[in-house]
Amino acid sequence: MTVVLNQSFTGISIGAVLLLIALGLTLTFGQMGVINMAHGEFIMAGAYTTYVLQQSLGGAGLPLLLALPLAFLVAGALGALLEWLVVRRLYARPLDTLLVTWGVSLMLQQLARDVFGAPNVQTRAPELLTGNVSVAGVTFATNRLFILGLALLSVLGLTLLLRLTPLGRRIRAVVQNRDLAEVSGIATARVDRTTFFLGSGLAGVAGVALTLVGPIGPTMGTNFIVDAFLVVVVGGVAQLKGSVITAFALGVLQSVLEYSTTVSIAKVFVLVAIVAFLQWRPQGLYTLRTRSLA
Amino acid sequence: MTTTLSPSPPSAGAARKPAGGPLAARFRVPGAFVLGAVLLVGVAPLVLSDFRLSLLAKYLCYAIVAVGVSLAWGRGGLLVLGQGVFFGLGGYAMAMHLKLADAAAAGSTLPDFMQLYGTSGALPWWWAPFAHPAFALAMTVLLPMAVAALLGLCVFRRRVKGAYFAILSQALAAALSIWLIGQQATTGGTNGLTDFQGFFGYDLDDPVNQRMVYFVIAAVLLLLMAAVRQLFVSRYGELLVAVRDAEERVRFLGYDPAAVKLVAYVGAAGMAGLAGALFVPAVGIISPALIGIVPSIGFVIGAAVGGRASLLGAVLGAIAVAWAQSTLSDAFPAAWTYLQGLLFVVAVGFLPGGLASLASAVRARRARPRTTPPAPTGGTA
Amino acid sequence: MNGDGLTVRDLRVTFDGFTAVDGVDLDIRPGDLRFLIGPNGAGKTTLVDAITGLVPSTGSVRFEGRELRGRPVHRIARLGIGRTFQTATVFEELTVLQNLDIAAGAGRGPLTLLRRRKEVPEPVTRALETTGLTGLRDRPAGALAHGQKQWLEIGMLLVQDVRLLLLDEPVAGMSHDEREATGELLRRVSGERTVVVIEHDMDFVRSFARSVTVLHAGRVLSEGSVADVQADARVQEVYLGSAAGSGSVPGSVPDSVPGSVPGSGSVPGGVPATATATVAEGA
């Protein structure tokens, strides 16, 4: 029984990391249709922000707390810059954006190598986040709990932002009918950039979280990016809750399969499961059904 | 949208010209193709050293992949980001055979690396059939095609979006390379399969045999280019463009767009598999690092730079990018990475037709009434 | 009557709880030139979508005695049913000839497909003549004028040899002359084929319709000749009642005001102007 619980907690914490990364993609890919391969490098930017803060401030807890907003701003600014320089010229060609942003991601990785060196670096986790908590015989790593909390908080924040604020209404309006939004007086170009800023900023937050569970390196983003896209694909681009459910489902599936087979075979099985799922729901878990081809 | 084209009468007149004789029209070969063939088969082996020729052989393998990319992506609009998978399947099929043949020549039943990793002593069942040369050769093409057919059927039938297809392809590339790394004892893991002695009875260390491998690769490339060019001008080629630009319309004309796309996708996969198989004797290694997400996207960049929709552009682009990579990446690794990134941004973002579009823009300016290869008008019943 | 035309029985289409087509019955005889009219949101396009298999539906759609429901889109097309869309969709990068050739070839075997086209198939030549595009056949379809694209689409249906044409607002955005030409084209085409046209432009309907079906809120409101329909009190009520809300049809409305189009009176079978005004207003 404890094995099952431990394993599902592992799965949920894998899911939390996935969710945190995918959350930004639900904005840039889900809402705007841009396949931003440099999203992984925004994660990296967030992680290095934490590293730099820790190096310059010393200590562990304060830099981590400061890193959360700062990484959001750094990654967000990079995202907005990317949108302004290239992405906005390519809204009509989503597949080409994938390749262009891949090129950007190569350059950002090399930039990180030039600035911080090719080897991975580490941050020290604050005392509080290095231990375990045991509840009824099940051990929870506190850093995993922190990430889970951060992911859920981000989901909540994003949901409230999209539902309740004028900015959220504008973002949804532009997604649903760009032309109509434009003639209704919404500056769609500015909304696009803001959306991109938010989505990329969330990647930065994810980067801060990743420093707690692994090393920081120039290619750290690449390892997560495809999995994160799969989360959004399976979840369906229309709604946040699709990505939330999918992230945790894939996390648990991955960890259960890993337990009974090996990591590499688990990967293959998860992919097969995803392709099979898309046979059943080609548009993902949650879709907006409308008149097609009007 | 008021495109200024020349009025129709002159173009209709020009259309009748190539009908000088049905045979001549049928076997009309583009000059650039002939020139390329002469350069590849005639000139290159004479002027290049053994070392440079073997490098060229490697580039040509990438060019073979680019032929398929041009078909599937350029004409079909399918962004094939998982070509590494097919390249790898073909490569591993070939490498497994070579390993088994080497082992047999050394009087063993197990390839050297398996003895090293201390496999239980028995050859894994899925290795055994690759001892047969014919089976292994067939698998280099059929295995990638089968995998592509399976994924393609799933994806195209259910009308999964283009972006989803690209992401799934990448995930497949990631999954395969991770799986290969995980199965160290039976696949060689990160090291891959390498250190081949013979190639169907010929000693691979002999420079003469390396030249032979080069000629085989050049011939395969030229043949595939001819075949794909025929596809481009055939009715299927027109249909593929139609599916790319307005899939629903094609459906309402009574075609199954999934089948049309599947042909291009599976064909491209087969070509990538063949390229992988030829890469093994030419370069002497196949490993997960050659087939994951990063190299898979790399297979596309050459075609993008040269011009995805132009067959010759894609092939030349692939060769040029591969050349730049091996020339620059050793001496200036950082500069090369920046350049590579910049290539993606500039070629795809700002010159989506690639360098070929520049060439055709110049050509169009020189000869205004451009005519597609049309049929003569007289033949109406 | 229901031997070989199009027979629709109790057809329903629902999107997330909203019923767009709500139990429609329709009988269209072979050779008819039927117009589907009705205010925006009446379910006209959705009805055509359902017939051609684009959206899932319940009920029954039979053409020439065969049930269409449950077949995939391209199989329905192969039974001899073709359609156009509100925005002309032709293959912009291909020439007019290539467009028509593709439309002609759904039944081609793989060997034919892999070869180059050697001569122009006979149906393609005829379609070029019927649609008046012979002189433009080597021009990329993307370079055609709007009206020419619509004719090309109709030409594609002709070479496809469909026996039922479903056209979604074929004259929207066309000049007066182009409308007349399109109407004549439709008249030529119907007779040996069945033609169903979704249209907002009442002048056009009056000039060319052989029969009219009025849809409202997903149901058939009225059916018959143009005169019958226009005399129908329910039809007048619907159009007057909804004129304020849904009268803003882009494109076709200004032209559809009766009397603004010279020559509309000379059309055979012209209808009394009194009933016309009310219908045209809302359409």
For A275, counting Cβ atoms within 10 Å of its Cβ (0-12 exposed, 13-18 middle, 19+ buried), the class is middle
**Residue B343: closest C-alpha in chain A:** A103
Q: What is the pLDDT of residue B119?
A: 59
> What average pLDDT score do residues B17-32 get?
52
A34: burial class by Cβ within 10 Å (0-12, 13-18, 19+)?
Answer: buried
C55·A292 Cβ contact <8 A: yes
Query: In the predicted model, is pLDDT for residue A63 greater than 80?
Result: yes
Please count the other Cβ atoms lying within 10 Å of the Cβ belonging to residue B28: 11
Is C15 close to A290, i.e. CB distance below 8 A?
yes
Residue-level pLDDT at C257: 37
| Confidence tier at C244 by pLDDT (50, 70, 90) | very low
Read off the pLDDT of each residue in B68-96 and give the average, rounded to a whole number. 94
Phi and psi dihedrals of C82, rounded to 5? Answer: -130, 155
Find, among A19, A37, A9, A26, the residue nearest to A246 by Cα.
Answer: A19
Chain A residue numbers with beta carbons less than 8 Å from the beta carbon of C55 are 291-292
B218-224 average pLDDT score: 95
Domain assignment present for residue A124? The answer is yes
Instruction: Indicate if the pLDDT at residue A25 is higher than 50.
Output: yes
| Most confident region among A170-184, B205-219, C194-208 by mean pLDDT | B205-219
pLDDT of residue A291 exceeding 60: no
Distance CA C34, CA C189 (A): 12
Look up the pTM and report it.
0.83
- Tell me the pairing of strands C194-198 and C164-168: parallel
- Domains delineated in chain C: 6-282 (3.40.50.300)
**pLDDT class for C243, splitting at 50, 70, 90?**
very low
Question: Residue B32 contacts by C-beta under 8 Å, 6 or more apart in sequence?
Answer: B312
Task: Tell me whether residues A226 and B164 touch, CB distance under 8 A.
Answer: no
d(CA A290, nearest CA chain C) in Å: 7
Q: What percent of chain C has pLDDT over 70?
A: 83
Q: Is C45 on the interface with A (CB under 8 A)?
A: yes
Q: Say what percent of chain C tops pLDDT 90.
A: 5
Residue ranges of the domains in chain B? 55-290
- A1 pLDDT band, cuts 50/70/90, is low
How many Cα atoms are found within 13 Å in the side-chain-facing hemisphere of C220? 19
CATH number, domain of A89, equals 1.10.3470
Contact C198, C36 (CB under 8 A): yes
- Between A106-110, A235-239, A271-275, C12-16, the lowest mean confidence (pLDDT) is in A235-239
| A294 to chain C: closest CA residue | C86
Q: What size, in residues, is chain A?
A: 294
A292 confidence band (pLDDT: 50, 70, 90): very low
Dump pLDDT digits (tens) for C54-95.
Answer: 888 899 999 988 898 888 888 888 888 888 887 778 888 899
Asked whether A95 and A29 are in contact (CB, 8 A), the reply is: no
> Residue B240's closest chain C neighbor by CA?
C102
Cβ A292–C45 below 8 Å, yes or no? no
Which amino acid type is present at position B339?
Answer: L
Query: Residue B20 above 80 pLDDT?
Result: no
pLDDT at B186: 85
Q: In the numeric block, which tokens belong to residue C92?
A: 């912009």
Q: Which residues of C touch B375 (CB under 8 A)?
A: 117-120
Phi and psi at residue C165, to the nearest 5°: -105, 130
Helices C233-246/C273-282 angle, 10° precision: 40
Contacts of B171 in chain A (CB under 8 A): 226-227, 230, 271, 274
Given a cut of 60, is residue C150 above it in pLDDT?
Answer: yes
Q: Which residues contact C90 (CB under 8 A, 6 or more apart)?
A: B246, B249, C99, C141, C142, C144, C149, C152, C153, C156
Across the interface, do A293 and C85 touch by the CB < 8 Å criterion? yes
- Residue B263: band (very low, low, confident or very high) from pLDDT cuts 50, 70, 90: very high
pLDDT confidence band for A38 (50 / 70 / 90): very high
Mind telling me how many Å the CA of B131 is from chain A's nearest CA?
A: 26
Which residues neighbour B47 within 8 Å (Cβ) at sequence distance 6 or greater?
Answer: none
Q: What is the least distance, in Å, from the CA of C93 to any CA of chain B? A: 8
Q: How far is CA B271 from the centre of its chain?
A: 5
Neighbours of B233 (CB within 10 A): 14
DSSP 8-state symbol, A165: S
> CB distance from A293 to chain C under 8 Å?
yes
Q: Record the tokens describing residue C72, joined without a space.
A: 């995939």
Q: In this structure, what token pair is assigned to residue B214? A: 């080069």
Question: What integer pLDDT is reported at residue C264 of this predicted model?
Answer: 37
Q: Say whether residue B332 is in contact with chain A using an 8 A CB cutoff.
A: no
Cβ neighbours around B67 below 10 Å, total:
27
A183 touches chain C (CB under 8 A): no
Per-residue pLDDT at B83 exceeds 90? yes
- For residue A247, give Cα distances in angstroms to A14, A235, A285, C182: 8, 8, 12, 54
In this prediction, residue B68 carries a pLDDT of: 96
- Residue range(s) defining the domain that contains residue A122: 2-280
* pLDDT one-digit tens code per residue, B318-338: 999 999 988 888 888 889 889
At residue C68, φ and ψ (nearest 5 deg) are -95, -30
* pLDDT confidence band for B366 (50 / 70 / 90): low
What's the token pair of residue B262? Answer: 């599947």
> Among the listed ranges A127-136, B126-135, C62-71, which one has the minimum average pLDDT value?
A127-136
* Nearest by CB: B293 against A222, A265, A267: A222
Supply the pLDDT for residue B368.
Answer: 52
CB contacts < 8 A (A, C): 17
Is residue C85 within 8 angstroms of chain A, CB to CB? yes
Q: Please indicate, yes or no, if residue A293 is contained in any of the structural domains.
A: no
| B64-70: average pLDDT | 96
Six-digit token string for B249: 């319309």
C250 in contact with A, Cβ within 8 Å: no
CA-based nearest residue to C35, from C181, C194, C163: C194
Are the beta carbons of A95 and B167 separated by less than 8 Å?
Answer: no
Least confident span in A66-70, A268-272, B9-13, C119-123: B9-13
pLDDT at B284 over 80: yes
Nearest CB partner across the interface for B253, out of C95, C106, C119: C106
CB atoms within 10 A of CB A124: 14
Q: How far apart are the first and last CA of chain B?
A: 35
- Give all strands (DSSP E) within chain A, no chain letters: 132-135, 138-141
A285 within some domain: no
Cross-chain Cβ contact C82/B253 below 8 Å: yes
What three-state secondary structure class fits B203?
A: strand
Q: Among B79, B179, B343, select the one facing A264 at the smallest CB separation.
A: B179
Strand partners, C196: C34, C166
**Residues of C whose CB is below 8 A from A291:** 15, 20, 45-46, 49, 55
Q: Which residue of B has its CA nearest to A109?
A: B337
Among the partner residues A102, A264, A268, nearest to B181 by beta-carbon distance: A264
pLDDT at A113 over 50: yes
Select, from the ranges A73-77, B151-155, C18-22, C247-251, the one with the highest average predicted confidence (pLDDT).
A73-77
Of C85, C112, C138, the CB nearest to B12: C138
C260 to C150, C178, C199, C263: CA distances (angstroms):
24, 16, 18, 9
C-alpha dihedral sign at B272, B278, B279, B280: positive
Whether A180 maps to a domain, the answer reads yes
Residue B78 phi, psi (nearest 5): -90, 115
Q: Is residue B225 within 8 Å of B311, Cβ to Cβ?
A: yes
Residue C168 tokens, joined: 């979604």
Mean residue pLDDT across chain B = 84
Residue B7 has pLDDT above 70, yes or no: no
Please check whether residue A43 is in contact with residue A210, taking contact to mean a CB–CB distance below 8 angstroms. yes
Helix (H, G, I), strand (E, B) or coil at C140: strand
B372 vs B367, higher pLDDT: B367
- Look at chain A and report how many structural domains it folds into: 1
What gap in Å lies between CA B315 and CA B63, rounded to an integer? 5
Task: Give the pLDDT score at B14.
Answer: 38
Angle between helices A61-85 and A39-57 (to 10 degrees): 140
A292 within domain boundaries: no
Specify if A288 maps to a domain.
no
Other beta carbons less than 10 A from residue A62's beta carbon:
13
Q: Which of B231, B235, B245 to mutate to test the interface with C (most CBs of C within 10 A)?
A: B235
Q: Which residues contact B111 (CB under 8 A, 6 or more apart)?
A: B99, B100, B102, B103, B193
